[in-house]
Amino acid sequence: MPILFTLILALLFSASPLRADSFPMQAKVVAPGVYAIITPSRDLPNPQNKGWNSNSGFVITNAGVLLFDSGSSAAIGSAIKSLIAKTTHQPVRWIINSHAHGDHWLGNHAFKDTVQAIYSSDITAQRITNNAQSWVERFKKMTAGASGDSAILSPDRLITKNTDLVFGSTKVSLLLSANSHSPGDIFLWLADRKVLIAGDVVYSDRMPSTRDSELQHWIPLLDQLIAMQPDVVIPGHGAVTDVAGLKRLRDLLQAFWDAVQHAYQADKTAAEMTAEVIAALAPFSQHYPGLAEKVRRDISQVYLQVEAASFR
């Protein structure tokens, strides 16, 4: 009987792709009470990573846990919840959604029992309202169904300016990004611990997505982040990094802009300049896997920004 029972249990669990331990998550301490959950994936959501392609961070306070970004699905949110429960008895009381791309907030619903407030910018909340179900469908398609159906739990505390908040006795700042990586990104600064939980305004060892971006806002934003001199940076994608990682990303985005502008001034179309832009960025390719593929995908967006800037 116990053997039969074990077999049935094993069958039940192997039939589900969505168990918490489907995801090889670890909570890495980066400062006292501050943890990074870093995905090993450097790809878009796909059947292998089951949608887990973005990072989260959390801060344990004396009144509950503050979670920054909740992953690409309710299943990933549940896995994050289990991981946090192994680290502290405190429940997740507050969530910050850095921006509206579905890999950063679709896990919200897993925390519905304990969460008291979900923060985002007003722009992000509006974009989530407009596109929520299409993110669920898109990720299901990209992961061959592994990301599953996620119920939607939207942000309800909307940030319209840089805001200092206190959770328990922990002080944090939520800062606006000037719509640099995408419209409405915010990020978290723990000044007393010099920790920046950045979301997608920082990528470390993965080529950033620039098709929803404004590079002319993003490059100066990175200069501001460098001036803050964080000891630790948790990026939205890639390994935990520091000021050197911020400088490298700034240089990459500047080089991308310069290469497109140079070719634009020689009257080339986006399609005609793609190969030379990829060649110009070659010195960065070892640090940013997927560089050529993302340049091909996103160059027309950067081209339009360079064109618009040339008419100012």
**Is there binding between residue 54 and Zn ion (CB under 5 A)?**
yes
Kindly state the smallest distance separating residue 91's Cβ from Zn ion, in Å: 25
Parallel, antiparallel, or unpaired: how do β-strands 64-68 and 92-96 relate?
A: parallel
Tokens 């089951």 belong to residue: 50
8-state DSSP, 76: H
**Of residues 222, 220, 309, the one with CA closest to residue 261:** 309
User: In Å, how far from its chain's centre is CA 130?
Assistant: 19
Choose between 138 and 262: whose C-beta lies nearer to Zn ion. Answer: 138
Kindly state the smallest distance separating residue 264's Cβ from Zn ion, in Å: 28
Choose between 72 and 274: whose C-beta lies nearer to Zn ion. Answer: 72
Name the 3-class secondary structure at 132.
helix
Judged by CB under 5 A, the chain residues 74 through 133 that form the site for Zn ion are: 101, 103
Stretch that binds Zn ion, among 30-38, 53-61, 123-131, 252-260 (CB under 5 A): 53-61
Stretch that binds Zn ion, among 75-83, 193-201, 260-268, 290-298 (CB under 5 A): 193-201
Choose between 37 and 270: whose C-beta lies nearer to Zn ion. Answer: 37
Which positions from 228 to 247 touch Zn ion by CB under 5 A, shown as an x/- string? --------x-----------
**Is there binding between residue 73 and Zn ion (CB under 5 A)?**
no
Choose between 81 and 101: whose C-beta lies nearer to Zn ion. Answer: 101
Stretch that binds Zn ion, among 52-60, 124-132, 176-184, 261-269 (CB under 5 A): 52-60
Kindly state the smallest distance separating residue 43's Cβ from Zn ion, in Å: 11
Residues 6+ apart with CB under 8 A from 227: none
Stretch that binds Zn ion, among 41-49, 123-131, 196-204, 300-308 (CB under 5 A): 196-204
**Is there binding between residue 185 and Zn ion (CB under 5 A)?**
no
Choose between 139 and 189: whose C-beta lies nearer to Zn ion. Answer: 139
177 and 201 Cβ atoms separated by less than 8 Å: yes
Choose between 50 and 101: whose C-beta lies nearer to Zn ion. Answer: 101
* CA distances to 18, 54, 176, 198 from 75, in Å: 6, 14, 29, 23
Kindly state the smallest distance separating residue 265's Cβ from Zn ion, in Å: 32
Kindly state the smallest distance separating residue 308's Cβ from Zn ion, in Å: 25
Tokens 């620039």 belong to residue: 210
Kindly state the smallest distance separating residue 170's Cβ from Zn ion, in Å: 25
* CA distances to 107, 108, 214 from 151, in Å: 9, 9, 31
R_g over Cα of the chain: 20
User: 135-144 burial by CB neighbour count: b if 16+ within 10 A, else e?
Assistant: bbeebbebbe
Choose between 103 and 298: whose C-beta lies nearer to Zn ion. Answer: 103
Exactly one of 69, 185, 200, 298 binds Zn ion (CB under 5 A); which one? Answer: 200
Stretch that binds Zn ion, among 46-54, 71-79, 182-190, 303-311 (CB under 5 A): 46-54
The strand pairing partners of 117, in sequence order, are: 94
User: 93-121 burial by CB neighbour count: b if 16+ within 10 A, else e?
Assistant: bbbbbbbbbbbbbbbbbbbeeebeebbbb
Parallel, antiparallel, or unpaired: how do β-strands 186-190 and 170-176 relate?
A: antiparallel
Number of residues that bind Zn ion (CB under 5 A): 5
Residues lying near Zn ion in the complex (CB under 5 A): 54, 101, 103, 200, 236
